[in-house]
């Protein structure tokens, strides 16, 4: 499975006690060199270096055609007051995920909102850590026998990263897991 990873996701995920599970889930994760330039802390650089050394993480070969796509998308979404700041590397990640048909790992609310309303990007699958944890369960990389056990994993993630998932999103996730457990 292919993934694209952005800076906000890396910054949080690298604090998670089970961060190593990500490399068991994805065969290849792509990153843009401009995303790497956003990372300055020892923790995130160490994590990303490990993924690169293991061959899981690869630099994406950005093209001129995609640069045109970036300019178009940026102008289409500019100045919408309800979309939090989107830096260039975040938008590049979205374009990469669309063109690779890969899952985008992003905690950036602005990116999630672009996917919600922009027709050309509406098919891009974007996961926060919550959907990532959920899909680790489906793949058998996190073992649970009840939704309470999943909640325990979520609480650990929240504790490690200082990240809280909205109750509505968590409820949706628990509903899907409950029906999966009942199968």
Residues 167, 171, 173, 175, Cα dihedral to 10°: 180
Check residue 123 for interaction with another protein (CB under 8 A): no
| CA-atom Rg of the chain in angstroms | 16
Give me the phi and psi of 120, to 5 degrees please: -65, -20
Instruction: Indicate the helix (H) or strand (E) that contains 57.
Output: strand 57-59
Check residue 161 for interaction with another protein (CB under 8 A): yes
Q: Which two tokens stand for residue 52?
A: 């690169």
Check residue 128 for interaction with another protein (CB under 8 A): yes
Give the interface segment with another protein, choosing from 5-13, 54-62, 92-100, 143-151 (CB under 8 A).
5-13
Per-residue contact flags (x/-) with another protein for residues 39 to 68, judged by CB under 8 A: xxx-xx------------------------
Check residue 116 for interaction with another protein (CB under 8 A): yes
- For residue 29, the SS3 value is strand
Check residue 94 for interaction with another protein (CB under 8 A): no
Q: Which residues bind another protein (CB under 8 A)?
A: 7-8, 11-12, 38-41, 43-44, 71-73, 75-80, 82, 84-85, 87, 107, 109, 112-113, 116-119, 128-130, 158, 161-166, 169
């Amino acid at each position: 499975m292919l993934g694209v990873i952005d800076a906000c996701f890396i910054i949080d995920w690298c604090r998670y006690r089970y961060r190593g599970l990500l490399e068991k889930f994805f065969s290849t994760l792509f990153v843009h060199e401009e995303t790497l330039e956003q990372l300055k802390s020892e923790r995130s650089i160490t994590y990303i270096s490990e993924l690169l050394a293991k061959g899981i993480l690869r630099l994406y070969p950005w093209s001129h055609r995609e640069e045109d796509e970036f300019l178009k998308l940026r102008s289409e979404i500019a100045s919408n007051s309800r979309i939090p700041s989107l830096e260039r590397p975040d938008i590049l990640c979205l374009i990469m995920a669309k063109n690779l048909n890969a899952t985008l790992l992003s905690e950036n609310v602005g990116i999630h909102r672009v996917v919600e309303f922009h027709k050309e990007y509406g098919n891009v699958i974007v996961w926060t850590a919550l959907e990532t944890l959920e899909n680790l369960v489906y793949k058998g990389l996190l073992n649970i026998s009840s939704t309470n056990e999943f909640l325990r994993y979520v609480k650990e993630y929240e504790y490690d990263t200082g990240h809280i998932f909205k109750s509505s999103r968590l409820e949706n996730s628990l509903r899907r897991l409950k029906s999966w457990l009942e199968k």
